[in-house]
């Protein structure tokens, strides 16, 4: 019997508690030992619920108990998670977390600490919820030069964009509906401004490069400015969609990363990833394109990944299984140098000026009152921005190549 503790009994933490209970036989078989939740840490009380009998309010109960071998961290946020996790690792306990803020901000340090004390700091659930992506990158794609990771990494925004596309609703109306269904938070900024996807691509890129990518360095644009008109043009282009993509890629010795809404063609791998689902495309120089698809959020799916990390920790006592990434900082190149094709929207009165500024732009045959939409040739971001300012472009969207 291996004793574990769960820090944070919210959606994911209570999910882990349930998974350990429901799938106990399978977990025992796979881990080589039964799991038992000895403590659950939460500030709240849960009177009458089964968790009540293992509930503690003081983290030191967990940290000071040598019987606890693995700690699950599902509190979210950098603090106090960072302090608690550091102490757990220092105390010789492995940690499994779903907390992308923590991993993106403090991953390198925590992995180094885990190596020092010969335990593990696992975070499969921090990206892509239940989708296996971190362990496949670390153990299956080890013979490839991974040149790109590009994904739909946020279920909330994908739900909103799918809703807008299918029902012609506005961003505000789709957000409201997502909130009513529990797919979006009351404070939706982390999702709709792209911050969540940004942290996730920082984690994936750090893994691929073996160096620390600071999420603060990643150009990040959310979906709040996407309108019905954008979808009208996307449809007119042949049923294209708009997806919030989190993309990190290498070009020579340069590394680029960005989070932004993109127009996506039907032929693209990520085109079919709709609703709350996530899809993560990985391109290796040998394996070519792969896609990992599934539920990128949600209680059971995310808890499944966290619990599988616990199983991995139980199977590897005294051994740090993965190196992770170093604390050496990876500089990102300026996305002003990257080339894109753009959907550009201008007021009707500015159409002539636009066409002069962008020779070779294609006018899109869509009925949007008072304005014209164009598809520009491929050109560097920096050039586009300058020309767009001169041409009076009201709104633009990049096209995924």
Would you call 200 a catalytic residue per the annotation?
yes
Question: Is the CB of 86 or the CB of 316 nearer to a second copy?
Answer: 316
To a second copy, the closest distance from the beta carbon of 341 in angstroms equals 24
Listed in order, strand segments (DSSP E) in 184-232 are 219-220
> What's the min distance (Å) between Cβ of 307 and a second copy?
3
Both tokens assigned to 215: 């999420």
Least distance in angstroms from the C-beta of 284 to a second copy: 6
Closer Cβ to a second copy, 308 or 372, answer by number: 308
Question: 145, 137 in Cβ contact below 8 A?
Answer: no
* Minimum CB distance to a second copy, residue 259 (Å): 23
Query: Which lies closer to a second copy via its Cβ, residue 235 or residue 315?
Result: 315
What CA–CA distance (Å, rounded) separates 233 from 180? Answer: 28
Q: Cβ closer to a second copy: 139 or 386?
A: 139
Would you say 260 and 157 are in contact if contact means Cβ atoms under 8 Å apart?
A: no
212/340 with CB nearer a second copy: 212
**From 69, 105, 106, 200, the catalytic residue:** 200
Residue 325, phi then psi, degrees to nearest 5: -120, 160
By beta-carbon proximity to a second copy, the closer residue of 180 and 288 is 288
d(CA 119, CA 88): 10
**3-state SS class at 162:** helix
- Beta strand segments in 92-137, E: 94-97, 121-122
- Helix, strand or coil, per DSSP, at residue 340: strand
Residue 81 CA neighbour count, 13 Å, CB half: 23
- Token readout for 307 is 């619990």
Chain centroid to Cα 355, Å, comes to 38
Greatest Cα pair distance, the chain, in angstroms, is 74
Contacting residues toward a second copy, per CB under 8 A: 19-20, 22-23, 26-27, 29-31, 124, 130-132, 135-136, 139-145, 210, 269, 272, 284-295, 298, 300-301, 303-305, 307-308, 310-312
Within the chain, how many helices (H) and strands (E) appear? 14, 17
- Token pair 């989070």 is at which residue? 259
**Closest approach of Cβ 318 to a second copy, in Å?**
13
Smallest gap from Cβ 220 to a second copy, in A, equals 27
Which residues contact residue 354 at a Cβ distance below 8 angstroms, ignoring those fewer than 6 apart? 344, 346, 361, 372, 374, 391, 392, 393
Establish whether the linkage from the previous residue to 80 is cis, with ω within 30° of 0. yes
Point out the residues that are catalytic. Answer: 200
């Amino acid at each position: 019997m291996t004793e574990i503790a769960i820090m944070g009994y919210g959606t994911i933490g209570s999910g882990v508690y349930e998974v350990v209970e429901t799938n106990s036989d399978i977990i025992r078989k796979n881990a080589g030992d039964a799991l038992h939740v000895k403590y659950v840490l939460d500030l709240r009380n849960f009177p009458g619920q089964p968790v009540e009998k293992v509930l503690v309010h003081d983290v030191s109960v967990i940290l000071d108990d040598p019987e606890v071998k693995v700690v699950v961290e599902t509190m979210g946020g950098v603090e106090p998670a960072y302090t608690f996790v550091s102490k757990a690792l220092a105390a010789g306990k492995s940690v499994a977390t779903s907390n992308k803020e923590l991993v993106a901000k403090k991953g390198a340090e925590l992995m180094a600490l885990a190596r020092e004390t010969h335990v593990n700091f696992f975070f499969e659930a921090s990206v892509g919820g239940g989708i296996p992506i971190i362990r496949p990158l670390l153990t299956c794609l080890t013979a490839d030069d991974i040149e790109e990771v590009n994904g739909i990494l946020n279920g909330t925004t994908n739900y909103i964009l799918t809703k807008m596309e299918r029902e012609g609703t506005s961003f505000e109306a789709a957000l409201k509906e997502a909130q009513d269904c529990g797919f979006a938070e009351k404070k939706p900024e982390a999702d709709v401004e792209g911050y969540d996807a940004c942290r996730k691509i920082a984690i994936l890129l750090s893994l691929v490069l073996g160096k620390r990518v600071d999420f603060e360095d990643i150009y990040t644009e959310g979906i709040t400015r996407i309108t019905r008109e954008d979808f009208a043009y996307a449809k007119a282009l042949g049923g294209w969609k708009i997806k919030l993509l989190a993309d990190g890629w290498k070009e020579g010795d340069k590394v680029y990363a960005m989070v932004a809404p993109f127009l996506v063609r039907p032929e693209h791998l990520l085109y079919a990833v709709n609703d709350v689902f996530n899809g993560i495309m990985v391109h290796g120089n040998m394996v070519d394109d792969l896609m990992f698809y599934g539920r990128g959020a949600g209680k059971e799916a995310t808890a499944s990944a966290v619990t599988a990390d616990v199983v991995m920790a139980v199977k590897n006592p005294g051994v740090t299984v993965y190196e992770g990434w170093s604390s050496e900082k990876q500089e990102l190149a300026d996305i002003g140098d990257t080339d894109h094709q753009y959907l550009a929207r201008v007021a009707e009165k500015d159409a002539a000026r636009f066409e002069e500024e962008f020779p070779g732009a294609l006018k899109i045959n869509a009925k949007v009152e008072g304005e014209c939409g164009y598809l520009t040739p491929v050109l560097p971001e920096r050039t586009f921005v300058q020309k767009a300012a001169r041409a009076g472009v009201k709104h633009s969207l990049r096209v995924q190549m």
